[in-house]
Structure 1
Amino acid sequence: MEYFIDTVALSVNKHGEELCGDQIEIADTKDGKILVLSDGLGSGVKANILATLTSKIAVTMLKENATLEDTIETIMKTLPLCSVRKLSYSTFSIVKASKDGTVNIFEFDNPSYFYLDNGALCEVPKIRREIHGKIVFESSLKMKLGDQLILVSDGVIHAGVGKLLNFGWQWKDVSAFIEDTMRTSGTTSLSHEIMSYTNILYDCMPGDDASVAALTYKEKKTLHLFTGPPKNPTDDKFLAEAFMEARGIKVISGGTTAKIIADKTGNELRVKLDDLRKDLPPTAVMEGADLITEGILTMSRVVDLLKGYRDGKKSTEILQELFEDHGASELSKLILNEASEVVIWLGTAVNPAHQSEGFVFNYQKKVEIVHELKMVLLEMGKEVLLYTI
């Protein structure tokens, strides 16, 4: 069985630094993904250069099926020497994950990873190897649906040193936090929970660069997003047929679109009056649809949420909004938690209500938002298809 490999990458810079000394690189391969978390010596520009070179070299060489020995040798020979410490040094964790669940992990001086098997933390046997004078730990896993692998840099393990915690948020403490979070929230927001608490321990002024990278095996699932009426009204029937024939999660974004599909399918469309908010229009319900939202305002909010989801500094803020009950949060959660592929059906009719003077959005803006959504989804590793009607 082939799975969808979902990844999350979050980082925060050391307080006062413009560049992050940690780097997370994720690359697709023919049979899976490569994930690298590297931590350059020190912080700021020098650390960023060391970490970036390490992650880029590792991903590039491993994609070309280079051996681990050759990859590590190239990294060590390429890293520039620090003029102060006379060292060329960057820690790394390298994960090679296949779609069938086979995972190989190589670690050099980074905190040990966390492995969740069916929601429970498990210890994994590791082989100690010396490669070109460096001690590297190698391990292998056979991951299955729902299993998760979490990497952290030492900025997470050291969170709170000299402030809220004398000795930092040690590995065993992070492990206990993960177990507690699993009991309350599950794996859905685990990476953001870790990053959010890291920020709290640093009092939002990190004493070191901190990063969290996660890899989760999920079922392949398609989300169909229908937004906007067809340009030609004669295509309304085609829109409704596409909706009825779609397999997977079905979401309608836009009142006019929902009315067309309801009329053509004969299904009743009802607005949820208990879902009234000042900032976003309410959602609606209809047989056959997993979610129905307002169009352009909600879509714009979804794009903002998904962008924020990839920003470690916004982990707490994003977690709070995702737990709220509104159309944008519900659609965002379906995309984040369920969908491996998103099929967007974009109607190109111009809504006259959007063209009135003083209205903040117009048709062109709507198209821009949809294309922006597509780019964000691609950056997140989702497969995206866009059809215009």
Structure 2
Amino acid sequence: MKWDVPSITEFMEPFYDAGFTAKTLATILLDECYARYGGSPGDDTTVCVVKIRKREPVNLLMGPPADRDDCGKMLSLFFSKEGRHIICGGTTSEIAAEYLGRKLIPHREIVDPEVPPISELEGVDLVTEGVVTMGKVLKYAQDYLQDNEKFKQWSYKRDGASLIARMLFEDATDIHFFIGKAVNPAHQITGMPIGFDVKMQVVQELEACLRQMGKRIRVSYF
């Protein structure tokens, strides 16, 4: 395979301008090398990517507080933070809409049958369903730390999990989780696959994955 430095530079420049992380840029370049070998590499290929960027904070709110009287405190702190804001969970988004005095607009379009539709709320960058969506994000995060094979799924899709993945994996440098510890009665029905323990496990495992990605993480529980 003959592919010199100027050719590699020309190939990679558009991806750099798109704002991809060093990890994703390395994946793109390795995939192209693999393709140029016709799927049968004739030699080793090693890629090292270093990227310097400005800090980009993202705040993610999931779940109402254990004490409903703390809603105002939690939301006030959440919205006071610099950066983009993500809200996960139907009840949580309704509480946020009431706090902001704005209308929550659910989307009807199902982009991915495994991920519930997103919603819109003025003043919030992204509103999604809760545990199911975040569970999908966790799977993407775990794959990202391995071979990043699912990159082609979440890198362009418009479902809630893909949108969160792009914001957390690609855009964010600092992530502040605001986690409400209220128990959702609907999830306590016998036979339901989603429970409070599952929610907390998803949050903790995702936090660990993001730390491995080099993100600065802060978690506040309410």
What is the TM-score with the length of structure 2 in the denominator?
0.88
CA distance 1:358–1:198, change in 2 (3 Å): farther
Quick check: 1:192–1:319 contact (8 Å CA) kept in 2?
A: no
CA distance 1:181–1:230, change in 2 (3 Å): closer
Equivalent AA in structure 2 for residue 343 of structure 1? H
For 1:133-144, list aligned pairs within 5 A: none
Number of paired residues? 219
- Relative contact order higher in (CA < 8 Å, ≥ 6 apart): 2
Equivalent AA in structure 2 for residue 289 of structure 1? V
Match of 1:365 among 180, 198, 205: 198
Equivalent AA in structure 1 for residue 18 of structure 2? G
Aligned partner of 2:28 in structure 1 is 193
CA distance in 1, matches of 2:173, 2:148: 25
Match of 1:264 among 99, 105, 109: 99
Higher strand share: 1
Q: Does 1:246 align with 2:78?
A: no
Match of 1:223 among 43, 58, 61: 58
Quick check: 1:239–1:261 contact (8 Å CA) kept in 2?
A: no
CA distance in 1, matches of 2:115, 2:109: 13
Q: Does 1:174 align with 2:5?
A: no
Aligned partner of 1:382 in structure 2 is 215
Q: Cα offset for 1:250?
A: 0.6
State which structure, 1 or 2, has the greater radius of gyration over its C-alpha atoms: 1
What per-residue deviation string (whole Å, max 9, x for no partner) do you get for residues 241-266 of structure 1?
A: 12332221111011111111111221
Structure 1 segments of 4+ aligned residues over 6 angstroms from their partners? none
Quick check: 2:136–2:161 contact (8 Å CA) kept in 1?
A: yes
Q: Cα offset for 1:209?
A: 4.3
What per-residue deviation string (whole Å, max 9, x for no partner) do you get for residues 3-27 of structure 1?
A: xxxxxxxxxxxxxxxxxxxxxxxxx
Equivalent AA in structure 1 for residue 164 of structure 2? L
Q: Any idea what SS the aligned residue of 1:387 has? A: strand
Q: Any unmatched runs of 5+ in structure 2?
A: none
For 1:277-296, list aligned pairs within 5 A: 277-296=112-131
For 1:1-389, list aligned pairs within 5 A: 167-179=1-13, 181=15, 186-188=18-20, 189-312=24-147, 314=149, 317-389=150-222
Q: Any idea what SS the aligned residue of 1:298 has? A: helix
Q: Any unmatched runs of 5+ in structure 1?
A: 1-166
CA distance in 2, matches of 1:320, 1:168: 30
CA distance in 2, matches of 1:244, 1:313: 32
CA distance in 2, matches of 1:289, 1:205: 47
CA distance in 1, matches of 2:219, 2:14: 40
CA distance in 1, matches of 2:43, 2:170: 30
CA distance 1:346–1:242, change in 2 (3 Å): same
What per-residue deviation string (whole Å, max 9, x for no partner) do you get for residues 158-183 of structure 1?
A: xxxxxxxxx3444444233224655x
CA distance in 2, matches of 1:221, 1:360: 35
Q: Cα offset for 1:277?
A: 3.4
Q: Cα offset for 1:204?
A: 4.5
CA distance in 2, matches of 1:282, 1:251: 14
